[in-house]
Each structure stands twice: as structure tokens, then as C-alpha cells.
Structure 1
């Protein structure tokens, strides 16, 4: 099976006997396999030189998530509600991750390979409230780990630093910088690829120096994060679905 770089598709069979066509593209800067779903269909991106069997195995592994996402787009449906004990598939740092539940003495959450494990005492009274709290804390911790590392590299380049970084769910924005030089980031970015989160961080930090979207501003962004347009475009295409995913995971219906 030969992989092509332009207009080449894989066909993934479903349990219902149907086939899902997935556009496949190699990318010179790709570091890992990535599966995305938009209104235009599904696409798998992979590093150059990846064996075709590895690409197909990746699709089979994430077939359940892919089928659900395509159904949501087709029907305009909201993601299914979080249900205690029911395994579900979520995006995390741009990768497909299985969210599973376990019974245990103390509430906790941990990432184990490609599984995010929620441990809660039985009986599952108030289980959803506890799970949402654990997920929100986990997502924020993941983001702060990345953001702290980037601040240490970017702030010296700008010779400026924010007074605070706040992370919370935002309805429409991905980030903002207020008059007190406090950066606010959307918690949904924990589900996006790290490069997309970094783009938003770079964007807001550059506003410390230039408080507009002039050509000078975008030139500064390009200096710190080349090819930032790819991440901006990714968020434009996938943003609504990403925010909906966060909502079903941490907010009561």
C-alpha cells in the first residue's frame, strides 16, 4: 500500500459495515501521528517516512472516536454527557485519549499511556461533581506545566513578563491580556495540540509589547513562533468542537 502526499485516502471499515474515508498527508515538521475531524472530513497527518501499516493501525485504534466525531458533525449533535463508569474517548494535548473509571479509596486522576484514569470511591454518589473537579484540575496542571516552560524562554526575548497567568473556560476567546498585564487562557487549550496552546501564549505575550494587531505585531509573533498561521487555522477549524468537549467534561448540563 503506497502512501501519497496529495489527495490520497485510507478507507477505515466500521462495525456497521460502512467505510470512512480519511485523507492522509505526510508533513516534514510532523513529530507524531495526528487525526483531525472537520466539516470537510477526516485527515490523518504523519511524519515523513512513517510506514503505511503504522498509519492504518493508528486509525483503527481511534476508529471509535473518529466515527463519533463524524456523526456529531453530520447530525449537529452535542458530545454525549459524561457518565460515571462509562468509558469515553476525549482529545488531550491533540491526541486521542481514553477516559476510564476505577473504584478506589481516594479520588484521584492519572495519565497512564493513552488512558486517563479517574479513581473514585464507591458508591458513586456525587461522582460526576468529583470527576469534573478532578478533570478541571488535571487540565489546568497540564497547561501550567507547558506555559511555565514557555514563559521562561519567551519573556527574556521580549524583556517583559505578565503579572499573572489565569486559566479558565472562555466562551469565545482563546486568550486575553488585560490592562494590568494579566494573561488569561482558555482551559479548552489543554485538549489542543501543545503547538496551538503555545501560539495563544505567544500571541498574548507579544501584546505586552505591541497592544494591537499591526504588521509589527505579527512580525514579532513570527520571530518567536514561526509558522504560527498553522496553529491559528487549526483553532479556527477545531475550536468549536474543542470548547464543546471541555463543556461536557467539566460543566454540569
Structure 2
């Protein structure tokens, strides 16, 4: 196992394959944490953690990591399709959770610990997938709007400006936009991303309320509110396609 451009670690598996793990020091982390989504493997750890401790932690969890990546079928074909009744792993706010199915009297969705449980009546079998997608979309919109509200409450006050409204919907290529009437639009796929990525996009668009271009003065303003914005922009550029594909398989397009 060796470092790769200071951002990745390469982990050799018992099968002789190599797994690249994105590493990141988290200022509020109390322990090492390994997560897996369709975007790949990510390791966060407290500042000051010795490299030998990081390597040992990964070696200890190599079998788990390999199994999770196999379950997600991270290959060129993209994530596996959602099938009624078939459990699958999905990302939610940057964490890996299991999507489960349950029969019940009424359609419902519930987030319980590390599981997202879809209740779909067996009597609606022909419409099970469309019903599940509607439930998932509603759930993701509710979750991301809570996060957006928290960010807005903090940064609009500091910035001294606010959008006239916020829309959340799937976007083909952009992560966010601000129209001439100061209405913000954000990609629903950000509900699947780590909160830090959503934070970057929100601050990015909020700063356009003050400066409508991407001049050095604009980026200086972004840096004022989020000094680590470059890391999140890079993450979205590298993982964005997989994230949008993940949203598409969950809610359809």
C-alpha cells in the first residue's frame, strides 16, 4: 500500500487487486471512519493520526471494504438497477446505507440507523418501482432541504444577501445555478453527497448574489466563507458523474 498524489492510499486485497481509498483529515473526527458509496471508498480520520495507524486500520478492514465494493458493482456498467424487493446499497449524505423493502398496508419510507426502509403494499406490485421512486424522491428532497435551510440560516446573514427562493431538482450537468431574479436551483443529487460538497455548492451560488462572475474577486469571496472549497470542487468533478447516475437509478429520469 502506498500513497497516491497525497490524496489516495492504495490497498492490496487478498485477491491481488488494488483498491484506491480517498483519505481526508477531518477536524472534528474522533476516530477513523471508512465509508463506501458508488463513488468509491473514503477514509476520514482525526488530525495528528500517525500514518502507520491509518495503514493498520485499512488492512484490518480490507475484507469488509472489498465486499462492499463488490456489492456496489463499481464497474463501467454503473450501479445496479433498483429492483422491488431486492436490497441494495446507496449513498446518503456521503454515508453508505442499505435500502430495504417491506410489505405493508400503506406506502411509506423510513430512515432507521443505517437502513432506508421502503414500505410498498404487495397489492401494488405492478407499480412498485414507480411508487418506490416517488417515495425516494420525496425523502431526498426533504433531507436536502433541511440541510439547505441550515446553511441558508448561517450564510445569508453573514453575506448580507439571500436568494428569493430555492428550487431542488435533478440537473443534467450543473450542481447549482442562480438566475437573474436571484432564484437558486440546486441538484437533488447533492442529497447523496457528503454535506461538505453541498455546503460548497450553496456558498458558491450565494456568493454570486454579490459577484456574478468567476473573477479572482469572486473566488476570494468564496474562500472567505469556505477556505476548503477547492477540495469539494475537485471531489464533485471526480465523483459527480457517479453521483448523478446513482440519483437516476433511484428516482428515474
For Structure 1 versus Structure 2, the TM-score category normalised by the shorter chain is: 0.7 to 0.9
Pairing of 1:60-139 with structure 2 (within 5 A): 60-67=63-70, 71-72=74-75, 76-123=76-123, 124-139=125-140
The change in CA–CA distance for 1:28 and 1:136 in structure 2 (over 3 A counts) is closer
**RMSD value, Cα:** 2.9
Contact between 1:10 and 1:24, CA under 8 Å: does it hold in 2?
A: no
Q: Secondary structure at the match of 2:27?
A: coil
Is there any run of 5+ residues in structure 1 with no aligned partner, and where?
none
Q: In structure 2, what is the Cα distance between the partners aligned to 1:3 and 1:102?
A: 43
Q: In structure 1, what is the Cα distance between the partners aligned to 2:133 and 2:62?
A: 29
Q: In structure 2, what is the Cα distance between the partners aligned to 1:202 and 1:59?
A: 36
Post-superposition CA distance 1:95-136 (Å, at most 9, x none): 111111011111111111111111111132300011000100
Match of 1:46 in 2: 44
Q: Secondary structure at the match of 1:85?
A: coil
The change in CA–CA distance for 1:221 and 1:131 in structure 2 (over 3 A counts) is same
Q: Give the TM-score taking structure 2 as reference length.
A: 0.84
Is there any run of 5+ residues in structure 2 with no aligned partner, and where?
none
Q: In structure 2, what is the Cα distance between the partners aligned to 1:26 and 1:151?
A: 26
The change in CA–CA distance for 1:203 and 1:3 in structure 2 (over 3 A counts) is same
The change in CA–CA distance for 1:66 and 1:210 in structure 2 (over 3 A counts) is same
Q: Secondary structure at the match of 1:249?
A: helix
The change in CA–CA distance for 1:78 and 1:25 in structure 2 (over 3 A counts) is closer
Pairing of 1:228-243 with structure 2 (within 5 A): 228-243=229-244
Residues 1:208 and 2:209 aligned together: yes
Deviation at 1:67, TM superposition (A): 2.5
Contact between 1:11 and 1:22, CA under 8 Å: does it hold in 2?
A: no
Contact between 2:36 and 2:65, CA under 8 Å: does it hold in 1?
A: no
Q: Give the TM-score taking structure 1 as reference length.
A: 0.84
